Protein backbone atom coordinates (compact mmCIF):
# COMPACT_ATOMS: atom_id res chain seq x y z
CA UNK A 1 0.00 0.00 0.00
CA UNK A 2 1.55 3.27 -1.03
CA UNK A 3 1.66 6.58 0.79
CA UNK A 4 -1.03 7.62 -1.68
CA UNK A 5 -3.37 4.86 -0.45
CA UNK A 6 -2.57 5.75 3.16
CA UNK A 7 -3.49 9.34 2.35
CA UNK A 8 -6.83 8.23 0.89
CA UNK A 9 -7.61 6.27 4.04
CA UNK A 10 -6.76 9.22 6.30
CA UNK A 11 -8.72 11.75 4.21
CA UNK A 12 -11.78 9.50 4.13
CA UNK A 13 -11.56 9.08 7.90
CA UNK A 14 -11.27 12.85 8.39
CA UNK A 15 -14.38 13.38 6.24
CA UNK A 16 -16.33 10.79 8.23
CA UNK A 17 -15.19 12.41 11.47
CA UNK A 18 -16.30 15.87 10.30
CA UNK A 19 -19.79 14.47 9.59
CA UNK A 20 -19.92 12.77 12.97
CA UNK A 21 -18.71 15.83 14.85
CA UNK A 22 -21.40 17.92 13.12
CA UNK A 23 -24.11 15.70 14.63
CA UNK A 24 -22.46 15.50 18.06
CA UNK A 25 -22.13 19.30 18.36
CA UNK A 26 -25.05 20.65 20.36
CA UNK A 27 -26.37 17.20 21.24
CA UNK A 28 -28.19 17.31 24.58
CA UNK A 29 -28.75 14.68 27.22
CA UNK A 30 -32.50 15.13 26.73
CA UNK A 31 -32.07 14.21 23.07
CA UNK A 32 -29.95 11.20 24.01
CA UNK A 33 -32.52 9.82 26.42
CA UNK A 34 -35.52 10.49 24.15
CA UNK A 35 -37.02 7.36 22.62
CA UNK A 36 -38.24 7.78 19.04
CA UNK A 37 -40.71 4.89 19.48
CA UNK A 38 -42.09 2.73 22.27
CA UNK A 39 -39.67 0.03 21.17
CA UNK A 40 -35.99 0.19 20.22
CA UNK A 41 -32.46 -0.17 21.56
CA UNK A 42 -31.69 2.14 24.46
CA UNK A 43 -29.50 2.43 27.57
CA UNK A 44 -30.52 1.55 31.13
CA UNK A 45 -29.24 3.09 34.37
CA UNK A 46 -27.85 0.58 36.84
CA UNK A 47 -28.00 0.92 40.63
CA UNK A 48 -24.29 1.80 40.78
CA UNK A 49 -24.85 4.86 38.55
CA UNK A 50 -23.43 3.37 35.35
CA UNK A 51 -25.43 2.90 32.17
CA UNK A 52 -25.74 -0.41 30.32
CA UNK A 53 -26.69 -0.58 26.66
CA UNK A 54 -29.25 -3.01 25.29
CA UNK A 55 -27.86 -5.69 23.00
CA UNK A 56 -29.99 -7.02 20.15
CA UNK A 57 -30.44 -10.73 19.58
CA UNK A 58 -30.92 -9.98 15.87
CA UNK A 59 -30.80 -6.97 13.55
CA UNK A 60 -34.35 -7.05 12.20
CA UNK A 61 -36.38 -3.92 11.59
CA UNK A 62 -38.89 -5.04 14.20
CA UNK A 63 -36.39 -4.03 16.91
CA UNK A 64 -37.55 -0.46 16.41
CA UNK A 65 -35.43 2.67 16.13
CA UNK A 66 -32.51 3.12 18.51
CA UNK A 67 -32.25 6.08 20.86
CA UNK A 68 -29.46 8.61 20.42
CA UNK A 69 -27.98 7.33 23.68
CA UNK A 70 -27.73 3.84 22.22
CA UNK A 71 -26.35 5.15 18.92
CA UNK A 72 -23.64 7.10 20.73
CA UNK A 73 -22.90 4.09 22.92
CA UNK A 74 -22.58 1.85 19.87
CA UNK A 75 -20.18 4.31 18.23
CA UNK A 76 -18.03 4.38 21.36
CA UNK A 77 -18.32 0.61 21.77
CA UNK A 78 -17.00 -0.41 18.36
CA UNK A 79 -14.30 2.28 18.39
CA UNK A 80 -13.15 1.22 21.87
CA UNK A 81 -13.12 -2.41 20.75
CA UNK A 82 -11.09 -1.81 17.60
CA UNK A 83 -8.59 0.36 19.49
CA UNK A 84 -8.15 -2.19 22.26
CA UNK A 85 -7.97 -5.19 19.96
CA UNK A 86 -5.67 -3.50 17.43
CA UNK A 87 -3.36 -1.50 19.68
CA UNK A 88 -4.06 -2.71 23.23
CA UNK A 89 -4.38 -5.93 25.14
CA UNK A 90 -7.39 -7.17 23.19
CA UNK A 91 -9.39 -7.96 26.31
CA UNK A 92 -12.17 -5.37 26.11
CA UNK A 93 -15.71 -6.76 25.92
CA UNK A 94 -19.10 -5.25 25.18
CA UNK A 95 -20.11 -5.60 28.83
CA UNK A 96 -17.19 -3.47 29.95
CA UNK A 97 -18.16 -0.48 27.78
CA UNK A 98 -20.81 1.63 29.58
CA UNK A 99 -22.67 4.59 28.13
CA UNK A 100 -21.10 7.76 29.66
CA UNK A 101 -24.37 9.10 31.13
CA UNK A 102 -24.80 12.52 29.50
CA UNK A 103 -24.18 14.35 26.22
CA UNK A 104 -21.09 16.25 27.42
CA UNK A 105 -19.46 13.01 28.54
CA UNK A 106 -20.42 11.39 25.21
CA UNK A 107 -18.67 14.18 23.28
CA UNK A 108 -15.58 13.88 25.49
CA UNK A 109 -15.49 10.08 25.13
CA UNK A 110 -16.00 10.02 21.37
CA UNK A 111 -13.56 12.92 20.92
CA UNK A 112 -10.91 11.07 22.92
CA UNK A 113 -11.42 7.93 20.82
CA UNK A 114 -11.12 9.97 17.63
CA UNK A 115 -7.90 11.58 18.86
CA UNK A 116 -6.38 8.22 19.78
CA UNK A 117 -7.39 6.66 16.47
CA UNK A 118 -6.09 9.56 14.37
CA UNK A 119 -2.76 9.63 16.23
CA UNK A 120 -2.29 5.90 15.79
CA UNK A 121 -3.26 5.99 12.10
CA UNK A 122 -0.79 8.77 11.38
CA UNK A 123 2.03 6.62 12.80
CA UNK A 124 1.29 3.55 10.68
CA UNK A 125 3.69 2.54 7.94
CA UNK A 126 2.81 1.05 4.59
CA UNK A 127 3.88 -2.32 5.98
CA UNK A 128 1.51 -1.88 8.96
CA UNK A 129 -1.37 -1.26 6.53
CA UNK A 130 -0.55 -4.41 4.52
CA UNK A 131 0.05 -6.61 7.57
CA UNK A 132 -2.72 -8.63 9.28
CA UNK A 133 -0.83 -8.45 12.61
CA UNK A 134 -3.15 -5.82 14.14
CA UNK A 135 -6.32 -7.22 12.54
CA UNK A 136 -8.00 -8.96 15.46
CA UNK A 137 -11.43 -7.30 15.65
CA UNK A 138 -13.96 -7.16 13.99
CA UNK A 139 -12.28 -9.68 11.67
CA UNK A 140 -8.95 -11.45 11.33
CA UNK A 141 -6.39 -12.42 8.69
CA UNK A 142 -6.88 -9.34 6.55
CA UNK A 143 -4.61 -6.35 5.98
CA UNK A 144 -4.97 -3.72 8.70
CA UNK A 145 -5.90 -1.24 5.97
CA UNK A 146 -9.18 -3.18 5.75
CA UNK A 147 -9.86 -2.43 9.42
CA UNK A 148 -9.21 1.27 8.82
CA UNK A 149 -11.58 1.28 5.85
CA UNK A 150 -14.22 -0.63 7.87
CA UNK A 151 -13.93 1.84 10.77
CA UNK A 152 -14.46 4.75 8.38
CA UNK A 153 -17.57 3.10 6.92
CA UNK A 154 -18.82 2.39 10.44
CA UNK A 155 -18.16 6.01 11.48
CA UNK A 156 -20.01 7.29 8.41
CA UNK A 157 -22.96 5.01 9.21
CA UNK A 158 -22.97 6.26 12.79
CA UNK A 159 -22.97 9.87 11.60
CA UNK A 160 -25.97 9.17 9.36
CA UNK A 161 -27.88 7.45 12.17
CA UNK A 162 -27.14 10.28 14.61
CA UNK A 163 -28.25 12.89 12.10
CA UNK A 164 -31.46 11.07 11.25
CA UNK A 165 -32.36 10.58 14.93
CA UNK A 166 -31.68 14.26 15.64
CA UNK A 167 -34.01 15.24 12.78
CA UNK A 168 -36.71 13.02 14.29
CA UNK A 169 -36.18 14.53 17.73
CA UNK A 170 -36.35 18.09 16.35
CA UNK A 171 -39.83 17.57 14.92
CA UNK A 172 -41.25 15.18 17.51
CA UNK A 173 -44.10 16.01 19.83
CA UNK A 174 -42.46 15.32 23.17
CATH number for position 20: 1.20.120.450
Q: Which domain range does residue 64 map to?
A: 3-171
Mean pLDDT for all residues in the chain: 95
Return d(Cα 55, Cα 58) in angstroms, integer: 9
Name, in order, each residue with C-beta under 8 angstroms of 146's C-beta and a sequence gap of 6 or more.
135, 139
Q: In this structure, is the dihedral angle defined by the CA atoms of residues 129, 161, 78 and 83, taken in order, positive or negative?
A: positive
Total number of domains in the chain: 1
Q: What are phi and psi of 102, to 5 degrees?
A: -160, 165
Pair 103, 51: CB distance under 8 Å: no
Q: pTM here?
A: 0.95
DSSP string, 92-140: --GGG--B-SSHHHHHHHHHHHHHHHHHHHHH--HHHHH-STT--SS--
Helix (H) or strand (E) holding 52: strand 51-53
Q: How many CB atoms lie within 10 A of CB 162?
A: 21
Q: Is residue 54 classed as helix, strand or coil in its secondary structure?
A: coil
Helix (H) or strand (E) holding 151: helix 144-171
pLDDT tens column, 24-80: 999 999 999 999 999 999 999 999 999 999 999 999 999 999 999 999 999 999 999
pLDDT tops 50 at residue 121: yes
Per-residue pLDDT band at 5 (split at 50, 70, 90): confident
Which tops the pLDDT comparison, 49 or 173?
49
Amino acid sequence: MSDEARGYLLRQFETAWALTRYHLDGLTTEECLWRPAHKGLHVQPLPDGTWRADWPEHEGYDLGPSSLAWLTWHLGFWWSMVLDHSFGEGTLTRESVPWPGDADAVREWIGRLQGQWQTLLERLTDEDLRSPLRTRWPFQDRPFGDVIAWATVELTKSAAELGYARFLYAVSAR
